[in-house]
């Protein structure tokens, strides 16, 4: 750098970098607010010695259906009340012919070709989400690999590299190379007081050279060595003219300034690590698997308005929307309530003041997903991208390519955007058609083929979904300290469950783990209650 940039230019730059990193951070915010994404599941709950009491379960999402499954097995008399006309909750999938009206009156009209789909809610299963993998096995839900990590996808910063997207592998090679080169330099200049020992310095230099693809002098330079990571200008071939020519690394300045390192960090996250899975045919295959077990217990279109309890039991008041809006009450010995807190706050619930405060303490994140159908898999055919995710600093944040139907002809659907935070509010403020239009415009910066190959699309804004009005519960660390124990501890005859009642928030695994805790608490109470 020949001239130091002015102070304000530097501030601008750092703020832009903060934005890229922020987008990456936002993406994980759901699981990062004082909690995590593993799973302590080891085996299904042991509910032996039950006395056959009755339980009303509110909500036929995964948490509610699992509670029903385990409680009925243990001899309880179970029924489920569900607001929607389908079971599964956020576990669902959009296919051609589906039609939903969102809050504000926008209509989601899905026109995908037969067999194509997008998952507006959960879309992948980490290898360490033992509970959901266990029940998929138990309920015969077929799984296939979800290609989370693909080194041939794009990283796009609108202000670096001339706004041109770059291959993940190129960027990763250069970031790794320059980092290793700098640390080697620090060690070789002998100025660093740590590591102190000659032995460790030698080992570190060896490590940096190998890991960073450095040359003998610990430099990261253009050549076949670096190209064996980032690819070649002329790729190797066969016959007399087969010799490859190396590609040229980016400048260190661009690599670091771009802030794209945030997306390298992203892939190291516990919940984003390979191997991941998805159900064959769409995420709702899991919901259907659960519904095969307990579907007979579900009353659909039951809009709960009040949950009361006394020494003798629980009384739930609800509107029977399937039968002219008749008002009904259901009585049971106990209640498992999986209604999202965003909705529960709008009901009358007879629990302790502390529990009411806990219910009100967890805001729900906004999130938007775009599903775009194109006439052909140009990302595979033109760009050799098979699954995985491209990232951009634009609102859409990412483009994820389907992990199924590889190499097939005909139309295919990709995830054209997945937004949290400000971008989610922006997109939720648009009509469904506008969301698709903006998604197309932004995505075209990564894939010029977008405009020519586009067929149709959907834009799903969770904040406009009537039965949840948000995506999932986002605990602050403070709220977690003040309210989590209360929220998750059974309140006389009522116990809550759902991803919000877990440390694996915003994941289906959290819903299942909370449900197991809930039925274990309920069972203990039921045995004590005699």
Q: Which residues in the 130-159 window bind a second copy by CB under 8 A?
A: 130, 133, 136-137, 143-145, 147, 149-152
Minimum CB separation from a second copy for residue 345, in Å?
A: 21
Q: Which is nearer to a second copy, 151 or 444 (CB)?
A: 151
Minimum CB separation from a second copy for residue 246, in Å?
A: 9
| Only segment of 156-164, 165-173, 305-313, 314-322 that touches a second copy (CB under 8 A) | 165-173
253 binds a second copy (CB under 8 A): yes
Site residues (CB under 8 A) for a second copy, limited to 180-199: 180, 182-183, 185-186, 189, 191-199
| Only segment of 104-112, 176-184, 295-303, 462-470 that touches a second copy (CB under 8 A) | 176-184
Residues 6 or more apart whose Cβ sits within 8 Å of residue 386: 147, 150, 152, 380, 401, 406
Query: How does DSSP classify residue 41?
Result: -
CB neighbour burial string for 203-215, b if at least 16 within 10 angstroms, e if fewer: ebbeebbeebbbe
Check whether the bond before 22 is cis (ω within 30° of 0). Answer: no
Beta strands in 280-374 (DSSP E): 298-299, 302-310, 313-320, 326-332, 334-337, 348-349, 367-374
Tell me the β-bridge partners of 2. none
Single out the residue of 93, 342, 502, 508 in contact with a second copy (rule: CB under 8 A). Answer: 502
Provide the mask over 4-33, with x wherever binding to a second copy is found by CB under 8 A and - wherever it is not.
Answer: xx----x--xx--xx--x--x-------x-
Nearest Cα to Cα of residue 400 among 464, 355, 447, 357: 447
DSSP per-residue string spanning 411-439 = -EEEEEEEEEHHHHHHHHTS-HHHHHHHH
172 binds a second copy (CB under 8 A): yes
Minimum CB separation from a second copy for residue 337, in Å?
A: 14
Alpha-carbon distance of 462 to 283, in angstroms, equals: 17
338 binds a second copy (CB under 8 A): no
Alpha-carbon distance of 377 to 412, in angstroms, equals: 6
| Only segment of 353-361, 417-425, 461-469, 494-502 that touches a second copy (CB under 8 A) | 494-502
Contact 300, 482 (CB under 8 A): no
DSSP per-residue string spanning 149-212 = --TTSEEE-TTSGGG--EEHHHHHHHHHHHHHHHHHHHHHTT---SS-SHHHHHHHHHHHHHHH
Q: Which is nearer to a second copy, 112 or 503 (CB)?
A: 503
Q: Which is nearer to a second copy, 102 or 499 (CB)?
A: 499
Using DSSP bridges, classify how beta strands 412-420 and 154-156 pair: parallel, antiparallel or unpaired. Answer: unpaired
Q: Which is nearer to a second copy, 394 or 514 (CB)?
A: 514
Other beta carbons less than 10 A from residue 500's beta carbon? 29
Q: Which is nearer to a second copy, 73 or 225 (CB)?
A: 225
128 binds a second copy (CB under 8 A): yes
Single out the residue of 53, 54, 400, 488 in contact with a second copy (rule: CB under 8 A). Answer: 488
> And the tokens for 430?
């648009």
236 binds a second copy (CB under 8 A): yes
| Only segment of 37-45, 69-77, 428-436, 522-530 that touches a second copy (CB under 8 A) | 37-45
Using DSSP bridges, classify how beta strands 154-156 and 389-392 pair: parallel, antiparallel or unpaired. Answer: parallel
Tell me the β-bridge partners of 77. 54
| Only segment of 200-208, 316-324, 411-419, 420-428 that touches a second copy (CB under 8 A) | 200-208
525 binds a second copy (CB under 8 A): no
Q: Which is nearer to a second copy, 87 or 147 (CB)?
A: 147
223 binds a second copy (CB under 8 A): no
Minimum CB separation from a second copy for residue 502, in Å?
A: 4
Site residues (CB under 8 A) for a second copy, limited to 378-437: 384-388, 403, 406-407
């Amino acid at each position: 750098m020949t001239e130091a940039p002015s102070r304000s230019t530097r501030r601008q730059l750092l703020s832009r970098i903060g934005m890229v990193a922020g987008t990456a951070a936002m993406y994980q915010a759901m699981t990062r607010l004082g909690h995590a994404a593993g799973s302590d599941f080891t085996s299904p709950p042991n509910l032996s010695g039950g006395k056959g009491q009755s339980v009303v379960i509110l909500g036929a999402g995964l948490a509610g259906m699992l509670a029903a499954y385990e409680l009925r097995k243990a001899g309880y008399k179970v029924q489920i009340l569900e607001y929607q006309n389908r079971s599964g909750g956020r576990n669902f999938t959009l296919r051609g012919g589906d039609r939903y009206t969102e809050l504000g009156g926008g209509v989601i009209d899905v026109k995908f070709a037969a067999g194509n789909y997008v998952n507006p809610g959960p879309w992948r299963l980490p290898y360490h989400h033992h509970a959901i993998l266990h029940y998929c096995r138990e309920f015969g839900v077929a799984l296939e690999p979800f290609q989370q990590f693909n080194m041939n996808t794009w990283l796009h910063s609108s202000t670096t590299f001339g706004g041109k997207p770059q291959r993940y592998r190129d960027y990763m090679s250069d970031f790794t190379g320059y980092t290793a080169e700098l640390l080697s330099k620090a060690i070789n200049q002998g100025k660093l007081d740590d590591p102190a020992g000659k032995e460790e310095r030698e080992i570190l230099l060896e490590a940096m050279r190998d890991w960073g693809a450095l040359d003998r002098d610990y430099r990261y330079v253009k050549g076949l060595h670096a190209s064996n990571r980032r690819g070649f200008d002329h790729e190797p071939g066969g016959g007399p003219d087969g010799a490859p020519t190396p590609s040229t690394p980016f400048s260190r300045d661009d690599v670091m300034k771009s802030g794209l390192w945030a997306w390298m960090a992203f892939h190291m996250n516990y919940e984003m690590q390979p191997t991941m899975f998805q159900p064959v045919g769409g995420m709702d295959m899991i919901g259907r698997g659960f519904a095969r077990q307990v579907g007979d217990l579900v009353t659909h279109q039951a809009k709960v308005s009040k949950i009361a309890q006394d020494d003798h039991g629980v009384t739930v008041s609800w509107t029977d929307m399937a039968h002219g809006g008749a008002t009904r009450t259901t009585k049971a010995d106990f209640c498992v309530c999986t209604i999202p807190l965003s909705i529960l706050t709008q009901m009358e619930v007879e629990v302790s003041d502390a529990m009411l405060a806990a219910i009100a303490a967890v805001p729900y994140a906004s999130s938007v997903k775009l599903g775009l159908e194109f006439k052909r898999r140009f990302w595979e055919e033109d760009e050799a991208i098979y699954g995985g995710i491209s990232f951009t600093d634009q609102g859409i944040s990412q483009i994820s390519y389907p992990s199924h139907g590889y190499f097939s002809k005909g139309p295919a659907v990709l995830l054209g955007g997945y937004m949290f935070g400000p971008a989610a509010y922006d997109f939720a403020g648009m009509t469904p058609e506008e969301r698709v239009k903006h998604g197309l415009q932004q995505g075209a910066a990564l894939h010029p083929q977008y405009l020519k190959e586009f067929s149709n699309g959907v834009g799903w804004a969770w904040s406009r979904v009537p039965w949840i009005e948000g995506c999932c519960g986002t605990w602050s660390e403070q709220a977690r300290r003040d309210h989590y124990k209360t929220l998750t501890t059974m309140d006389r005859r009522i116990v809550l469950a759902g991803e919000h009642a877990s440390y694996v928030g915003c994941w289906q695994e959290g819903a299942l783990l909370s449900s197991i805790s809930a039925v274990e608490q309920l069972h203990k109470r039921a045995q004590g209650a005699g």
